[in-house]
Amino acid sequence: MPQRQLKSHKVLIGMEIHVQLATASKMFTAAANAFGADPNTLVDEQVLGLPGVLPVMNKKAVEYAILVGLALGCKIAKHTKWDRKSYFYPDLPKNYQISQYDLPLCAQGIFHLALKDGSVKPVRIRRAHLEEDAGKLLHEAPGGHPINFSIVDLNRAAAPLLEIVTEPDLSSGHQVAAFAQELQKLVGAGLKRAILGTTGLAPTVISPFVSGTAFGATFKRSPQIIAAHSAVTAPKATPTSSNPTQQNHRPSHG
């Protein structure tokens, strides 16, 4: 039987990138969202999944996600919802993750990637949705000492994540690296007091720690952001059993 030979090939790469949002509290609870604390100190009843707890959505995380979505040229959903992703693992005490599936907050965007040869490659953004992070499992003791069990640290559990998913528009490792670096610049060191500016290529979110002159652009407050902020402060819906984030009447946190 003759062997098949590959005469040509084309590399197609899509990316899924998680951005941890720098909010003061976690995605669905007022527990502190921070790094470097002692293990298992940034937890509460909701993080631990104790009976009777209800999630309270972090308004600031939604606003940050909308800012990034606008910078990526995404359509911002007028109606969105949350979904449960069930899996059983020691780093997720609730045994499910609150995420978004078929109705993401941001979708159908475009990112114009400037390449070294001077060309510009459009990278389609399939979606950018919010979810909560899992905890962390350590398989060796602090200091690198071997152990025959795993250590669980839940400080990271329930931290707000923005998951950005592209279409398979990248075709090399260099393009992947360039896209990741530019996305990191876009997100910046934090989105507090972020403003929307426009470069010669694509809308860009500038953090307060990035100089506007580095992008050669004039930055101004966008009416789109004001409209987006108004959208997330709409009156509360009538509580229903299908959406757990509508079952509580406590104020949101940030």
pLDDT tens for the chain, 254 residues long, are 778 888 888 899 999 999 999 999 999 999 999 999 999 999 999 999 999 999 999 999 999 999 999 999 999 999 999 999 998 888 998 999 999 999 999 999 999 999 999 999 999 999 999 999 999 999 998 888 899 999 999 999 999 999 999 999 999 999 999 999 999 988 874 444 344 433 333 333 333 222 222 222 222 233 333 333 333 333 333 333 344 433 333 557 77
Domain-located, residue 243: no
Specify the number of domains making up the chain.
1
E strand or H helix at 164, and its extent? Answer: strand 160-166
Sign, Cα dihedral of 187, 21, 161, 109: negative
CA gap 18, 27 in Å, rounded: 14
Domain-located, residue 138: yes
Interhelix angle 173-187/59-71, nearest 10 degrees: 130
Domain-located, residue 71: yes
Domain-located, residue 126: yes
At 55 the pLDDT is 93
Task: Provide the whole-model pTM.
Answer: 0.73
Domain that holds residue 142: 16-189
195-202: long-range pairs with CB below 8 Å, 24+: 195/219, 195/220, 195/221, 195/222, 195/225, 196/67, 196/70, 196/71, 196/220, 196/221, 196/222, 196/224, 196/225, 201/112, 201/114, 201/120, 202/71, 202/73, 202/110, 202/111, 202/112
Domain-located, residue 157: yes
Domain-located, residue 234: no
Domain-located, residue 180: yes
At 9 the pLDDT is 86
CA gap 23, 132 in Å, rounded: 12
Domain-located, residue 48: yes
